[in-house]
Amino acid sequence: MVSQVLSPPLPQQLEGPRPLDPALQIRIYELMLTTRLLEERLIRMYKQGDGFFWIGGPGEEAFNIPLGLLVRKGRGLDYDYLHLHYRSTGTLLAMGANPVDALRQMKNTATDPYSGGRNFVGHSSIRAWNVVPITSPIEVQFSIAPGTAMAQKRANSRGITIVQGGDAGTAEGDFATCLVWSSRPGAELPILMLVANNGWGISTPASTQHGEKYIADRGKAFGIRTRVINGNDPEEAYHELKEAMDYVRMERRPFLLEAQVSRLYGHSSASGANFVKNEVDCLAEFEHKLEERGLLTRARMDEMRERITQELLDASRRVIEEPQPDGATVWNHIFADRNYVKEGL
Amino acid sequence: MATMVQAVRMALHVGETRLGVTDIFGEDVGPPLGGVFTATQGLKTAWNTPLDERGIVGAAIGLAMAGQCPVAEIQFCDYAFNTIDLLKLAGNTCWSSNGDWNCPLVLMTPVGAGIRGSIYHSHSFDAQATRLPGWKIVMPSNPLDAYGLMLSAIVDPNPVMVLLPKALLRVKAGPDELIPGEPEDDRTLSKMIDAPVGDRSSWEPRWPDTPDLFLPIGPLRLVRPGRDATVVTYGRYVPLARRIAEDLATEGLDIEVIDLRTLYPYDWDGLKASIRRTRRVLFVNEDTEITNFGEHLLRRTVEELFDELLAAPRLLAGKHLPGIGLADNLERASVPQREDIVASLRALCAETRSLSDFRAALALRLSKGNTDASEALALAYTRR
Ligand SMILES: Cc1ncc(C[n+]2csc(CCOP(=O)(O)OP(=O)(O)O)c2C)c(N)n1
């Protein structure tokens, strides 16, 4: 498999993770499926001219959904701050985001709650859940995350800071910033650093640019606890993320977790957004497992797929009729009139 | 009688004791040094960061988004260039989230030449800073303004950059620039708030009782009224322009001096009113002259006030050079000097567009229904 060519083999020989509670397995499956179908709907919208650009996370569902389910969701220092990347839609859906809002951002409607038609799909912002705006410059979130973590550490809160990016971006200085700032002696920060390693930076294979065996190893020099996991297995991802989050939450120290994932529709619409057959498909694998375990039948899964596909199609038809932002609104929100981020903390 | 750097320190003390400042940080900002220019000595929320400007700006953004009130320092603006990406983010967070988030932080950094700082301690930042939409940019020219602008920056819900002219950091306040409550005698103040030389581990500052004196971000300051020409400047050149105006007064030239104070959002109404009064204007700053902030002001002046000007508006700025050389002659040849400003002002005042052209232009505007022009036209007929 290509992904194994691109990424070195996992360091530990796993016997396979403990199965999760059946209800949770089904919940994860539903969310993985919804996320995948949402991404496929977004790609369709792009291809039909209902959106200028697509980028998203098909291939990261098995990792992103457990993450979203495990987040301590809410506003303020006692909850987790999320500095995500443009492949994080699954995480947000698992937290309870409305898939229709992604369709709105795809179509850049005035009703897009994340940016009012200003930003690409996948660039969410939800202050009510501490989701800071996802931005295009690669890796900058790793320079910003220490700030929210510092505030949480000082508040003696239970909240942690979660920051996520890809593999190629770890070559940016911001990644080193995060390693240094989160491990200052005596001032260690409650940060969970996540690297979704899909082995690619647009068209450049990681193996041609990176000499380190595992990106996570870079944490070791700073005394940061690290882990490399198979991010294509939602159960392994769930257990590992939970353990890492518990550690960060309790110990108030950083953790660097590298998840090997797939990139199933290429980088973005700029590279065609076509399905690639030679990488592990976490959804297909999980379906297989659920079937084997007798938790869901193929027929039931097909039914779910059809229902969600139809719902998203109907929603997209409504969304494309929603109003576009008025040009005059470009002048709105250049400056804030109040200190929103401080209110109610 | 505080210096600008002491005024900043006192403002930060007020910030951390009464206005909610949670973090004052940057390279060498915390103890023992308290900042390479001593702006942060004795402050209880001051701390040292790794030598990482991107990290400093990033942490400020993160702290701001977590409801804290950070004041970050970039040691010299010369080292802020690798943070532009993050500065852009601070400026666009509110806009790109369509008002979901705001990003209340203060970034202070020393700017400009004048301390023999050679190539990498003499940069200006006004052109870069004013190219960051979503930021408010202020540059004080005296200790009292530094104090008041810093307090306003701290309570503003947006990112505010406080550019501190290096050449003025150690200049003492003038008689009209005292901060209420500060001791008039500079040695008394120094004993109270300057960290001692040597071991400081048990030193505690004694802060004078200074008020919450907010100087609003936006309005310019009329430093000296005049009738013949307006000099528009900020920071380091304000005291110099004032002295030049006083000298030229003895030659019969009456120069109006304006301290812009806020580079964005700047006081266009105030500027326009002054330029309309004097009908001659010189913009002065020390940043390199190509794509200079003064060029923007010049452009608006030409577009909006062309018909009312008696002479071509001018910009005196730094030369478009890769750096400022260390040797005195090199620095003097690079950024505007006293004699350059004097020469520009003399030339400006000596030039007068033909009065008949001027009247014709105004009459044309009036005939198009521009009643604004009527006052200027009346003036044009009566003045000379
Ligand atoms: C600072 C910066 N440089 C370049 C780009 C253009 N760009 C967008 S995505 C990308 C590759 C990112 O690869 P990686 O970090 O591995 O994340 P992935 O897209 O594979 O999830 C590049 C170069 C950018 N957005 N930001």
Handedness of CA B255, B270, B295, B72 (dihedral sign): positive
Selected for mutation to probe chain A from B21, B65, B87 (highest A CB count within 10 Å) is B65
pLDDT of residue B371: 67
- Please report the pLDDT score of residue B359 as a whole number: 75
| Partner residue opposite B102 with nearest CB, options A114, A332, A340 | A340
What pLDDT was estimated at residue B372?
66
Which residues of B are annotated as catalytic? 121
Which domains are delineated in chain B? 4-193 (3.40.50.970), 221-352 (3.40.50.920)
Domain limits of chain A?
Answer: 22-323
In chain A, which residues have their Cβ closer than 8 Å to the Cβ of B86?
Answer: 140, 143-144
Whether pLDDT at A4 is above 90: no
Along the 384 residues of chain B, how does pLDDT read in single tens digits?
899 999 999 999 999 999 999 999 999 999 999 999 999 999 999 999 999 999 999 999 999 999 999 999 999 999 999 999 999 999 999 999 999 999 999 999 999 999 899 999 999 999 999 999 999 999 999 999 999 999 999 999 999 999 999 999 999 988 888 999 999 999 999 999 999 999 999 999 999 999 999 999 999 999 999 999 999 999 999 999 999 999 999 999 999 999 999 999 999 999 999 999 999 999 999 999 999 999 999 999 999 999 999 999 999 999 999 999 999 999 999 999 999 999 999 999 999 877 777 777 777 777 777 766 666 666 666 554
Is pTM beyond 0.90 here?
A: yes
Work out the minimum CA distance from A95 to partner chain B, whole angstroms: 18
Amino acid B174: pLDDT: 86
Identify the band that residue A237 occupies on the pLDDT scale cut at 50, 70 and 90.
Answer: very high
At residue B262, what are phi and psi to the nearest 5 degrees? -110, 120
- Sorted by sequence, the CB contacts under 8 Å of residue B1 that are 6+ apart come out as B172, B173, B178, B182, B183, B184, B185, B186, B189
In this prediction, residue A1 has a pLDDT band, given cuts at 50, 70 and 90, of very low
Ligand 1 centre to CA of A138 (Å) is 5
Is residue A115 scored above 70 in pLDDT? yes
Q: Is A99 on the interface with B (CB under 8 A)?
A: no
Report the 10 Å Cβ neighbour count for A297: 11
Contact list in B for residue A123 (CB cut-off 8 A) is: 96
**Which value does ipTM take for this structure?**
0.96
pLDDT for the residue B120: 94
Q: Give how far B280 is from chain A: nearest CA, Å.
A: 32
Mean pLDDT (chain A, rounded): 96
Q: How far is the CA of B251 from the centre of ligand 1 (A)?
A: 63
- Residues within a 6 A CB radius of ligand 1: A 87, 136-138, 165-169, 198, 200-202, 267
Chain B residues close to A156, C-beta within 8 Å = none
SS3 B268: helix
CA of B63 to the centre of ligand 1 (A): 25
How far A159 CA lies from chain B's nearest CA (Å)?
11
pLDDT in tens, A302-314: 999 999 999 999 9
Contact across the interface for A143 and B58, Cβ inside 8 Å: yes
The 3-class SS string of A186-243 reads CCCCCEEEEEEECCEECCEEHHHCCCCCCCCHHHHCCCCEEEEEECCCHHHHHHHHHH
- Tell me which residue in B55, B64, B67 faces A345 most closely, judged by beta carbons: B67
Q: Which of these CATH numbers, 3.40.50.970, 3.40.50.2000, 3.40.718.10, 3.90.380.10, describes A22-323?
A: 3.40.50.970
Chain B residues contacting A via beta carbons under 8 Å = 22-23, 49-50, 52, 54-55, 57-70, 82, 85-86, 89, 93-104, 133-134, 136, 157-158
Confidence label for A3 from pLDDT (cuts 50, 70 and 90) = very low
Q: What pLDDT digit, counting tens, does each position of A135-165 carry? A: 999 999 999 999 999 999 999 999 999 999 9
DSSP-derived letter for residue A185 is T
pLDDT of res. B110: 98
Is A331 part of the contact surface with chain B (CB cutoff 8 Å)? no
Separation of CA B75 and ligand 1 centre (Å):
30
Out of A88, A119, A138, A263, mutate this one to test ligand 1's pocket (max ligand atoms within 8 Å of CB): namely A138
A112 chain-B contacts, CB cut-off 8 A:
98
Exposed, middle or buried by CB within 10 Å (0-12, 13-18, 19+), for B320?
A: exposed
